[in-house]
Amino acid sequence: MSALGEHARFDAPATAAARPGRVTLVGAGPGDPELLTLKAVKALRAAQIVLHDSLVDAAVFEHVPRTAHRIAVGKRAGRHSMSQRAIIELMLRLARGGHPVLRLKGGDPFIFGRGGEEVLALTRAGIPFEVIPGVSAAQGAAACAGIPLTHRDHAAALVFATGHLRGAGDDARTVDLDWALLARPRQTTVIYMGLAALPQICEQLVAHGLPPDTPAAVVERATCTDQRTIAGTVATLPALAQARGVCAPALIVVGAVVALQRTLGVALRPHAPPARHAA
């Protein structure tokens, strides 16, 4: 049975007078369930149908009524349980049937969470929606790893980018980014979903003028109790991440502020393993 067919029991007879259900996009934060906002908790407690990403911490669902129907639609074990198009179709179908839908996403829905695509589809379909922002992965990683995203002495700008590989085959896969922008001095660059392309990212940053000794780090499972921070430089980080077996989800942080992690990291998160540094 198709992903949509599995949820056919939620369909309501389509009539011209039928009022669509409201869709609420909720940011679940970067991992730690205690970083949920009060507004997010209120929405979760009132949920009837929850379409959720796979990276959402299990403790978050303690706020969801037992009677609510939970549908996993995110990435799990290296595969997508549902394509983005199918997620949107299911969300629209449920809302058109008059059901209120809570779309639960990791981090913040509008920061590389495809929330923009989903609310555009809702708008075009005439379905009411609300967006409840969440603590982003970048904010969570910065706070718990001891890497201030901005600092008057080191970074006057902050740039977020996505490091998704693109291409028809493994040999042709590339990351298409504005490298000149990302290699500018006196800024912090945070790259989401870039772990698989880390060697290419670091190589391109250096090729576009960033000094090889620029501090850089990978933060694995930000804000979780098993968070790890591997810190080095743009030149050394790919080998360090491979040697330490870093796995997704992980963020890449590049810039002078990363050097502050050596001093701030353990103090900010004493219950986590200390970061491993290398020159």
| Residues with active-site annotation | 53, 75
- Rg of the chain over CA atoms, in angstroms? 20
Q: How far apart are CA 7 and CA 208, in angstroms?
A: 50
End-to-end CA distance of the chain: 54
User: What letter does residue 155 receive in the DSSP assignment?
Assistant: B
Instruction: Output DSSP code: residue 221.
Output: S
Give yes or no for a contact between 251 and 190, defined as CB atoms under 8 angstroms apart. Answer: yes
Q: Is the dihedral angle over the CA atoms 231, 251, 72, 109 positive or is it negative?
A: positive
Q: What angle do CA 108, 219, 270 make, to 5 degrees?
A: 100
The helix (H) or strand (E) run that includes residue 140 is helix 137-145
* Closest-CA residue to 230 (of 195, 197, 204, 206): 195
User: Structure tokens of 258?
Assistant: 């990363």
d(CA 180, CA 65): 48
Cis peptide before 249 (omega within 30 of 0): yes
CA 123 vs CA 118, 201, 228: distances in Å: 9, 36, 40
The H or E element spanning position 238 is helix 237-243
Look at residues 133, 191, 132 and name the one whose alpha carbon lies nearest to residue 164: 191
